[in-house]
Structure 1
Amino acid sequence: MNSFDQNNDLERWGVPAIESTFNIDPKLRNFEKDIRRRYAIYEKARNAINDAEGLDNFSRCYKEFGVNVLPNNGIICREWAPNATAMYLKGTFNNWEDWSYEAKPYGKWEMYIPPTSEGSCRINHLSELLIVIETKKGEKLERVSPWAKYMVEENNALKWKFWNPPRRDVVLPTNRRPKKPTRLRIYEAHIGIASNRCEVTTYRQFTEEVLPRIRELGYNCVMLMAIQETPQYSDMGRNVTNFFAPSSRFGSPEDLKQLINTAHGMGITVMMDVEHGQASDHARFGLNMFDGSAEGYFHDRKTHGNRHFDYTKWEVLRFLISNLRYFMDEFNMDGFRFNDVTTMLYQDRSKHGQPSDDYRQYFGIQMDVESMAYLMLANDMLHNFYPHVLTVAEDNSEMPGMCRPLREGGLGFDYRLGNAVPNKWMKLLNENRDEDWNMGFIFHAMTSQRKCEKAIVMAESRDQSMKGNETLVSKLMRHEMYENMSDNKPMSHGIDRGLSLHKMIRLMTHTLAGDGYVNFIGNEFGHPDHVELPSIENNWNRDLARRRFELCDDEQLRYKYLWRFDKSVNHLEEKYNWLSARPGFVSRKDETDKVFVFERANLIFLFNFHPTKSYPGYRVGVDKAGSYKIILDSDEKYFGGHGRVETSVEFPTKTGSFDNRSNSVLVYLPSRTAIVMANTSTQPTGYYNYNVADSGTIQTTTSYGRVPCHW
């Protein structure tokens, strides 16, 4: 069959439930051939794997490749190096002599090392190892196994250490995994910066000091970044060299296991970032040029010097799929955020950074169908073997179908995470005076996610916390966040404005924009400093490589108000479940009053963005008759506000249509204030602080910002 006929065959490939895709988004029917083609490449790869080895065995090859101890304390060593003419293992265990591998078919190399006469393992725990490869050009290259499970930085270089701790030191899970959350409230964290000390925080310190904070704040998931080993601490996890090695800068693999086990005991799920689109171009202890060949695991394309994986190669699929399985099995991980998926989806990785209503941007010759097929295969494996798993695609382009099931021709992710919402908030702040804020712009920013695809949203991204960027607090308060955050000083206009808008922006994002919410470590209390990890450029300074939690713990500082508000919002969601409710019904977006009102999960959310005008007796439409009570008020003094609203007052409804609602209430709506109200007939008894219980869902109507779906 020639390539033309083969392409036609792929474009006619059967997709079991493709009509569901077209029913959800009819525009996709114009790209039916492309959807069938990417599904065909995925299914052909999956079928080939199942026929040859079985996906279960194929995805557990972290037990077969690299250097692994067998039950009899013998050691099996196996690598893929098709350009090698000879391969050796050496290390402290054999006084750095070259022990030879045996060549096997398909570019594989194997060696078996029997146990000692006493039955013990010949390679001691933490012994240093190296692989020596002879190439077709006659070169002798010292390399680290791509499957190495522990690397240690010594003398500004990574060294491979054999990880085989005594059984007494191995951490086994003692706490059951939490149930798969239906509503994700994510705390995104970098282990190394997670303390106020000018040092690299460890897994153990994070477990003891930060996990209790996360639980108290009401987050039910922690997302760990920069876990996979990189050559430089300052890489922030972006240039991975050793995919199976948790970074030793934070401690041992067993320490990471204990962190996860402790989090599970607190009811917190744990996800980690994986970099499966590209790898560091470092050759000595990375994948690049492992066997002397420029191809190996990669295409010839590069981005910022990093190498892009070639997903058409059998051993690349084995390596990446097994990498996911390794962290699920050995560390009891709950899921993954696939970093920078946007760079994997398209042939030209420099162009597709923004969402578009023109679907031609996403399909056709610019599709990287092999990358998409890999992502589909990864989701297939993970969701089949681990029904509880969570997969998140970091995609700023908003590729249609990213979070639809495989059987519909989607890529199979549970959630999408992108920067569209925080970018819109910064655009509003950068380009408009407060009195000129456009409610229609806010409506579009909060409700423009893809139909029937779950989205995790954020008010500010982790990138905004990095050097050269601005967080909400730094944008809103400028220099005043260093000078006027003492509660012993009169409240300045800048701090008053900053505290008010910080709370309002984060509350609206949390409640209206998506199906999950993520906060980057420290932003919950408005951390004043950006993040800058030590490097040669800053003379290895650690002052900004930390999070100063003492600021929100200090009762004399106003950071505590933002921390309290963040905690109250999360606990409110825990009771009322708006993240799993149908999309919000926006009943008012008044450009003159600067008032925005919507309903979700039977709660009424009222936002008065006007900088100076307060509205007594403001009429607000509500769907359900009865009496309403304020359950959250951003202006309360407990949250650093002015206490202008009497929260104990009940507001009876008045019958009669208003703002497309059957009833209405009159409320006092102060300037720069957000209020949440609940019908007293559905409010639970004995609720804690500002929490309310779920009372059902609202009806589907064409006025919803996003099309509601049954998941």
Structure 2
Amino acid sequence: MTFGGYTNAVAHNKIESKISSSVLQQHATAVTGPAILAPSYSSLSALQPQLITTVLDPLKNRTVQIFDEPIPDDCHAELHADYAGYAVMWGLGNKASSAAECCRMCKDFKSPNKDVPHGCHIWIWCGDPSGRCWTMDIHEHRTDCDANHSKRTAVNRPAVESASALEILKRENELLKSTLEEAGADTSVYQNLNGLIPEDIWSPATTVPDDHAFIEQYGAPSETPHHDGTECFKWDNTMWSAAEHFKYRWNKFKNIKNAIDVNEGGFEKFSQGYKHFGLNRGEHEGKIGIWYREWAPGAKALCLVGEFNAWSPKDDHWAVKNSFGVWELFLADNEDGTPVILHRTKLKCRLEGADGNWYDRIPAWIKWATQDMNEIQFNGVHWQPEEKGAPGEVDPEKSYTFKYPRPEKPRSLKIYECHVGMSSAEPKINSYLEFRKDMLPRIRKLGYNAIQIMAIQEHAYYGSFGYHVTNFFAASSRCGTPEELKALIDEAHRLGIVVLMDIVHSHASKNTGDGINMFDGTDSMYFHSGARGNHWMWDSRVFNYGNWETMRFLLSNARWWMDEYKFDGYRFDGVTSMMYHHHGLSYTFTGRYDEYFGLSTDVDAVVYLMLVNNMLHDTFPTAITIGEDVSGMPAFCRPWQEGGVGFDYRLQMAIADKWIEVLKKYGDHQWGMGDIVHTLTNRRYMEACVGYAESHDQALVGDKTIAFWLMDKDMYDCMVRGHKLELQALPGKGPQSPTVDRGIALHKMIRLVTLTLGGESYLNFMGNEFGRS
């Protein structure tokens, strides 16, 4: 059972003490764990005592009351929180009741002490930043209560209002440690807290000297292990039925890596194709200038046209084709030292296709593309600022110099999924700089430690939300320049926020004029030809992952965004569609291994995913990869070194579908708790998941938000914005609404149970973050 990303699976240290009801409040306040739970109790000797439970959130310095109701004389209460105080679960039951009835919201959570004496038992659990468990038991005997509490009543809780989260945890650790020592308990698990760095809890804002420039520290390539690809079976020995499939794909993986080493000079060089293809500064026969290279094997002739030559090629603007189908053109600098193609110059390549027709195409490796007013198609733009800006300086005419280091890799992700263009409250496309100024501080204040940005790769159709990519190496120009996107990411790093990119390698736009489809006049090139190369559901092109240049293109694309823009990782879109010839459509996975490992599996695609995970985790040691897989393929989130696919996380997509199903089909009294809990916890052992109640798929693409399912039109008439949601009449809008009352309560509950049970990390889409406290 996981809470806030941590597993309650290690040994507990318990304190058992007999204390009087008169000091229980002081004791419970003084000896809480690092979640800084602060329960306060009225006299437990009363017939109907009140239990008032509060959670002090150290990151926002505020106390939130979560529970307040009468408790019977013989009572039992359980409280649970993650280390930041966000996930709180409580249970209440009479001691005469069964264990299954003891908790209302986490019924499978068992009391650590089944035989509780007459009176009250309070149990508190907290996960510290390293994932260990902290526990405390307090027992009261009314007939024997004064002898054992004298020392503990002298312990005073320090003030926390002005302390940092790390300082609070350290002081709480010392208090709990001293209490354990008095009780004669083992304190070894608590001795390392003072050695924690802030990133273990939540990456703090970073301060560096004004002239500090961030320098990437790359990892070293790792050797391919010498086994047959079945090492991952140690986590699931029932997978031996698929052993031959794993051995086959492992051999294919090794053979491709060996071929890259022999033919391309190694994985490092192969994955940096952007330094060779497209437009890059270079030298030829002692002259400095611009190299342009493009793989277009079906083309019969190719040249560059643009503003630099009035869209009409000169004799020296024609490229030459080599034996590998790569067209090469060198443009020497002018006599005054200026490049022939200046920064921000619009251009395209003009080619004679395999069919004999002439086409204007945007170079496949272009770094920026823009759409002029009153024009439908995009133009490629040569983006290469001549000056280098000072660290942190935002100047579109200077290349951005990163100032702040990457945050440490969080132990548990709290992801804020967002779309820059849609993030403004105004009816406009928002910019990178506005998002940087307005949204990032708010996201940090809300307690998220990661953002996942949609629609970064350029896409001609804005309504595709970035999923029909036309220019894979170009940052979306609707929101600003490449340097402004870099400034956004650098500022996120300053705030301690990890930046993930929603990358699309599962398919590509069918556009020809401003995409890479039919680039050289053939229907193949980077894609499968014929029907296999067309995605019948998405109306897009399907990559041929076994093609050498396709692998170079996509591997280089994954490295480009990490290297040039300092993204910290990726959410790979549509991975299920990649891994199966049927794309996971009109197909039900029942869990049989032959459904994952058989003739319907696209082994080339799975091997590509292993290669890209290998490259990313070797090159960038803190890289995070999340795969959008709905099939539940075994070993998807096991390291590639074991023969797994290599992702860090799988998106737990079934959870969001389950909540929509429940809200659509069932009344409140018909919710099947067993079915909901099964969906929330149904994941493979030792394979981490990102749980979420709703993402952009539910909020934007053909569905309604959970809030709208719950409250519908009453959201517009019966809600007041303030310190907290108050249910009252709006002027001229009518009385308060029980629909909103119910909706907010269920909205909070759905998020709470998803956060605590749904996975090792959590995601929420922007606009749905209300109702979280």
Amino acid at match of 1:455: C
**Per-residue displacement from partner, 1:323-350 (whole Å, max 9, x unpaired)?**
1111111101100111010100111125
Q: Is the 8 A contact 2:692 2:762 kept in 1?
A: yes
Q: Is the 8 A contact 1:353 1:397 kept in 2?
A: no
1:134 and 1:357 mapped to 2: Cα distance? 50
Q: Which 5+ residue runs of structure 2 have no aligned equivalent? A: 1-223, 390-397, 721-725, 730-734
2:333 and 2:759 mapped to 1: Cα distance? 55
Q: Which residue of 1 aligns with 2:332?
A: 114
Q: Is the 8 A contact 2:298 2:521 kept in 1?
A: yes
Q: How does 1:203-352 map to 2 (within 5 A)?
A: 203-300=432-529, 301=532, 302-303=534-535, 304-351=538-585
**Match among 657, 662, 676 for residue 428 of structure 1:** 662
1:112 and 1:233 mapped to 2: Cα distance? 35
Amino acid at match of 1:114: A
1:407 CA displacement: 2.1
**Match among 496, 499, 502 for residue 741 of structure 2:** 496
Amino acid at match of 1:448: N
1:69 CA displacement: 2.1
Amino acid at match of 1:430: K
Q: Which residue of 2 aligns with 1:652?
A: none
Amino acid at match of 1:280: S
Q: Which residue of 1 aligns with 2:711?
A: 477
Q: Is the 8 A contact 1:88 1:101 kept in 2?
A: yes
1:438 and 1:491 mapped to 2: Cα distance? 30
1:419 CA displacement: 1.6
> Secondary structure at the residue paired with 1:380?
helix
**Per-residue displacement from partner, 1:530-549 (whole Å, max 9, x unpaired)?**
xxxxxxxxxxxxxxxxxxxx
> Secondary structure at the residue paired with 1:420?
helix
Q: Which residue of 2 aligns with 1:199?
A: 428
- Asked if 1:141 corresponds to 2:359, the answer is yes
Q: Which residue of 2 aligns with 1:607?
A: none
**Match among 227, 231, 234 for residue 23 of structure 1:** 234
2:675 and 2:310 mapped to 1: Cα distance? 68
Q: How does 1:289-688 map to 2 (within 5 A)?
A: 289-300=518-529, 301=532, 302-303=534-535, 304-351=538-585, 355-466=589-700, 468-486=702-720, 487=726, 488-489=728-729, 491-525=736-770, 562=771, 565=773
**Per-residue displacement from partner, 1:462-503 (whole Å, max 9, x unpaired)?**
111125412110111111111111344264211111111110
**Match among 279, 302, 306 for residue 67 of structure 1:** 279
- Asked if 1:95 corresponds to 2:310, the answer is yes
Aligned pair in 2 of structure 1 residues 401, 467: CA closer, same or farther (>3 Å)? closer
**Per-residue displacement from partner, 1:645-693 (whole Å, max 9, x unpaired)?**
xxxxxxxxxxxxxxxxxxxxxxxxxxxxxxxxxxxxxxxxxxxxxxxxx
Q: Which residue of 2 aligns with 1:170?
A: 399
> Secondary structure at the residue paired with 2:521?
coil
1:119 CA displacement: 1.6
**TM-score scaled by structure 2?**
0.65
> Secondary structure at the residue paired with 1:299?
coil
1:461 CA displacement: 2.4
Amino acid at match of 2:270: F
Aligned residues: 516
**Match among 234, 244, 263 for residue 33 of structure 1:** 244
Q: Which stretch has the larger CA shift, 353-362 or 319-328?
A: 353-362
Q: Which residue of 2 aligns with 1:42?
A: 253
1:49 and 1:458 mapped to 2: Cα distance? 38
Q: Is the 8 A contact 1:342 1:353 kept in 2?
A: no
Amino acid at match of 1:45: I
**Per-residue displacement from partner, 1:68-93 (whole Å, max 9, x unpaired)?**
12387510110101111211111111
1:165 and 1:19 mapped to 2: Cα distance? 49
Amino acid at match of 2:336: E
Q: Which stretch has the larger CA shift, 164-173 or 82-91?
A: 164-173
**Per-residue displacement from partner, 1:532-569 (whole Å, max 9, x unpaired)?**
xxxxxxxxxxxxxxxxxxxxxxxxxxxxxx25x1xxxx
Amino acid at match of 1:254: E
Q: Is the 8 A contact 1:352 1:361 kept in 2?
A: no
Q: Which residue of 1 aligns with 2:16?
A: none
> Secondary structure at the residue paired with 1:222?
strand
Q: Is the 8 A contact 1:15 1:36 kept in 2?
A: no
Amino acid at match of 1:146: A
**Per-residue displacement from partner, 1:359-416 (whole Å, max 9, x unpaired)?**
2211110010000011100011111111110011011111111100112211001110
Q: Is the 8 A contact 1:403 1:416 kept in 2?
A: yes
> Secondary structure at the residue paired with 1:364?
coil
Q: Is the 8 A contact 2:589 2:595 kept in 1?
A: no
> Secondary structure at the residue paired with 1:118?
coil
Aligned pair in 2 of structure 1 residues 25, 403: CA closer, same or farther (>3 Å)? same
Q: CA RMSD in A?
A: 1.7
Q: Is the 8 A contact 1:67 1:77 kept in 2?
A: yes
2:353 and 2:657 mapped to 1: Cα distance? 49
1:268 and 1:355 mapped to 2: Cα distance? 36
Q: Which residue of 2 aligns with 1:179?
A: 408
1:113 CA displacement: 0.8
1:413 and 1:350 mapped to 2: Cα distance? 19
**Per-residue displacement from partner, 1:268-293 (whole Å, max 9, x unpaired)?**
01010111111111111111111111
2:228 and 2:445 mapped to 1: Cα distance? 43
1:135 CA displacement: 2.8
1:334 and 1:435 mapped to 2: Cα distance? 44
> Secondary structure at the residue paired with 2:453?
strand
Q: Is the 8 A contact 1:15 1:409 kept in 2?
A: no
**Match among 152, 155, 166 for residue 370 of structure 2:** 152
2:298 and 2:768 mapped to 1: Cα distance? 49
Q: Which 5+ residue runs of structure 1 have no aligned equivalent? A: 1-12, 526-561, 566-711
1:215 and 1:14 mapped to 2: Cα distance? 40
> Secondary structure at the residue paired with 2:400?
coil
1:15 CA displacement: 6.5
**Match among 128, 136, 156 for residue 346 of structure 2:** 128
**Per-residue displacement from partner, 1:122-141 (whole Å, max 9, x unpaired)?**
11111111111123432221
Q: Is the 8 A contact 2:354 2:522 kept in 1?
A: no
Q: Is the 8 A contact 2:432 2:485 kept in 1?
A: yes
> Secondary structure at the residue paired with 1:524?
coil
**Per-residue displacement from partner, 1:137-167 (whole Å, max 9, x unpaired)?**
3222111110011100122221111111231
Q: Which residue of 2 aligns with 1:693?
A: none
1:521 and 1:326 mapped to 2: Cα distance? 26
Q: Is the 8 A contact 1:15 1:39 kept in 2?
A: no
**Match among 288, 291, 312 for residue 76 of structure 1:** 291
> Secondary structure at the residue paired with 2:719?
coil
Q: Is the 8 A contact 1:17 1:408 kept in 2?
A: no
1:60 and 1:468 mapped to 2: Cα distance? 38
**Per-residue displacement from partner, 1:490-536 (whole Å, max 9, x unpaired)?**
642111111111101101111112011000001112xxxxxxxxxxx
1:353 CA displacement: 6.0
1:20 and 1:109 mapped to 2: Cα distance? 43
Amino acid at match of 2:519: F
1:442 and 1:143 mapped to 2: Cα distance? 50
2:281 and 2:697 mapped to 1: Cα distance? 41
Q: Is the 8 A contact 1:346 1:366 kept in 2?
A: yes
**TM-score scaled by structure 1?**
0.71
Q: Is the 8 A contact 1:354 1:396 kept in 2?
A: no
